[in-house]
Structure 1
Amino acid sequence: MAQAKPKRWSQRVAETSDAMDLEAGVFTLKDPRAIARSLKRSAERSKRRKAEPFRSAMSMLSYYINRAGRNLPRDQRQRLEAAKDELRKLYDRAPSKR
């Protein structure tokens, strides 16, 4: 029997792309710094990423935020946006101008 087709293209991308492997539940952590540290660890260990670790980690975080869209609760979105700033600090990158 044929494999079940993913309902959403984002599911297919997450399952089959060369995106890095993430720790389970990373985006549900309560501390933005813990989210950033986990993403950094995953990006630096991953053999499946194509870009440099910072870009890969930031891309995964942005991808999650964008895919959740309006369904993402405000407090969780704020935590994830704060995690972007923490990730920039961990990689000594300039903060964004919002």
Structure 2
Amino acid sequence: MAQVRKTTHSRNSSPRKTARKANTRRSGTAHKSTKRATRRWSQRVTEESDALDLKQGVFKLTSAKRIAASLKRSAEHSSRRKTGAYRSALSMLTFYINRAGKTLPRTQRTRLERAKVELKRAFGRE
């Protein structure tokens, strides 16, 4: 822990600045306990999204057409989505790709990118 020096303050500096820094440090430890609870927020979004009720394992399907068809079906049957079916389906697919990041295997990434094109075709947006 760093030592705190007592210094004389000039007209422009205030002793409150050091107090804020000290409080920030203390609140950092409380943040660590709450961090564990919110660690998997993206998984929760995929499972409990207001946009769509996804079929389990939809992103692991082997065909881009099947992924697109499943997303379309989910989007069209959802009564909780806040926007159009195409936009909801595409945003969920994009969210999954972005969430996986670098850990997504290249073959699966290309399949999901092809699913975007298939989704566009399924909704007649070419």
Give TM class, smaller chain. Answer: 0.7 to 0.9
Q: Gapped runs of 5+ residues in structure 2?
A: 1-35
Is the counterpart of residue 50 in structure 1 residue 82 in structure 2? Answer: yes
- Tell me the number of residue pairs that the alignment of Structure 1 and Structure 2 aligns: 91
TM-score (structure 2 length as normaliser): 0.67
For 1:43, the aligned partner's letter is A
Q: Aligned match of 2:73 in 15, 21, 41?
A: 41
Distance 2:99 2:114 in 1: 18
Please tell me the root mean square deviation across aligned C-alpha atoms, in Å: 1.6
Is the counterpart of residue 27 in structure 1 residue 25 in structure 2? Answer: no
TM-score (structure 1 length as normaliser): 0.84
Higher relative contact order (CA 8 A, sep 6+): 1
Distance 1:61 1:15 in 2: 13
- Report the Cα offset of residue 18 of structure 1: 1.7
4+ long deviations beyond 2 Å: 11-17
1:5 counterpart residue number? 37
Distance 1:27 1:15 in 2: 12
1:70 counterpart residue number? 102
Residue 24 and residue 14 in structure 1: after superposition, are their counterparts in 2 closer, same or farther (change >3 A)? closer
Q: Gapped runs of 5+ residues in structure 1?
A: none
Query: SS state of the match for residue 110, structure 2?
Result: helix
Give identity over the alignment, percent. Answer: 59
Residue 88 and residue 67 in structure 1: after superposition, are their counterparts in 2 closer, same or farther (change >3 A)? same
Per-residue displacement from partner, 1:34-58 (whole Å, max 9, x unpaired)? 0000000000001111110000000
Q: Which is greater in Rg?
A: 2
